[in-house]
Amino acid sequence: MAKYLFTSESVSMGHPDKICDQISDGILDALIAQDPKSRVACEALCTTDLLVLSGEITSQAQIDYVSVARDIIRDIGYTGDEYIGFDADTCQIFVALHRQSGDIAQGVDRDGAGDQGLMFGYACNQTEELMPLPIALAHRIIARLTEVRRNNEVNWLRPDSKSQVTVEYEGSRPIRVTAVVVSTQHADTVSQAEIAEFVKTEVVAKTVPEHLLTAETTYHINPTGRFVIGGPHGDTGLTGRKIIVDTYGGWGRHGGGAFSGKDPTKVDRSAAYMARHIAKNVVAAGLADECEVQLAYAIGVAEPVSVHIDTKGTGRIADERISQIIRDVFPLTPRAIIEELKLRRPIFRKTAWGGHFGRDDPDFTWEKTDKVSALREAAG
């Protein structure tokens, strides 16, 4: 079988783009907590000493947008003089939000999709969480770095960090990790040698399975040699700019829209969650080792205009048959998806870093494998 390399990355909650994703979803949560039928499309931009909120919101809820944003920035860890350039209590915040267009609202009011678009869901049996291995490992590294920082196991870690993992495959089988890249913001007082040793022994070694690491694995820890200036002071952040990190690390395809800041009437989000739910259940049911689902919608129309299944040749039955079964087993209109996955709850901020898929959290209803029996029965 042919050998090849595949790489995926993850970024931390303190990455500028992820700050914006969390603020957008934190505002969504605050609105849904008071008015579950809030219509929200909230986006954020952050840079040195500045946060801008924009978008369309129609809701009966009354919230203080500025206070919500400051609380999220503070919780991420941007507080105190050591983070010169971006601070929860002193950054300027501009609010430019208005109501949802009536032209869009009338389509959603009759339970149609909030926009046209195509959404993908994916699952495979490479990992326990039925995710591609490179993105799963990249997320685990960032989760461990965040745990270490928030537990204050060392005092020099800062909120902004990125990971990247390269896996060698033989055919569809992962063999080993060939390269690990970690860049983490740090205090000016720590040496790069100390950072590299700590990341290798206390982060990578505790998250990447031992059998995947070899003497030939290459490590690049803070490869520029310094990462003191980070966060929005080092790079501008925008909502929705890390969509491959949010999904499958580039292994499975992504549709046309980002997730964060969008209420579940936006099929960019809700249908992508349902597509993952479908793909994961297909693989968990043993109908295929790998499954990619595409759903497509027209604005204002409830039923999808297409449902496409691709098992990459691993299906136990024909892909056309699986597609027919899916239409019978899973609800696919926007309203039915929202009800099935219980999406009118304030659960979205925690999706905004660490990936929207492959997470073991009871609020991530799209990760449940509760349709396995129905799929097996329907498939005979």
3-state DSSP of 16-55: HHHHHHHHHHHHHHHHHHHCCCCEEEEEEEEECCEEEEEE
The DSSP H or E segment spanning 268 is helix 267-284
User: What are the tens digits of pLDDT across the range 193-229?
Assistant: 999 999 999 999 999 999 999 999 999 999 999 999 9
Percent of the residues in the chain that have a pLDDT greater than 70, as a whole number: 95
Task: Give the confidence band of 183 by pLDDT, cuts at 50, 70, 90.
Answer: very high
Task: Give the confidence band of 105 by pLDDT, cuts at 50, 70, 90.
Answer: low
How many CA atoms lie within 13 Å of 330's alpha carbon, on the beta-carbon side?
34
Report the C-alpha dihedral over residues 95, 101, 102, 103, rounded to 10 degrees: 180
Spatial strand order in the sheet of 3-11: 3-11, 157-170, 173-186, 218-221
Task: List residues bridging with 308 in a β-sheet.
Answer: 294
What local confidence, expressed as pLDDT, does residue 108 receive? Answer: 65
Q: Positive or negative CA dihedral for 203, 209, 212, 215?
A: positive
What local confidence, expressed as pLDDT, does residue 115 receive? Answer: 74
Q: Strand 50-58 to strand 117-124: parallel, antiparallel, or no bridges (unpaired)?
A: unpaired
Q: Is pLDDT of 101 > 70?
A: no
Quote the CA–CA distance of 279 and 274 in Å, as a whole number.
Answer: 9
Range 167-191 average pLDDT? 96
Range 20-40 average pLDDT? 97
What local confidence, expressed as pLDDT, does residue 106 receive? Answer: 62
For 216, list phi and psi in degrees, rounded to 5. -90, -5
Range 8-29 average pLDDT? 98
pTM of the model: 0.95
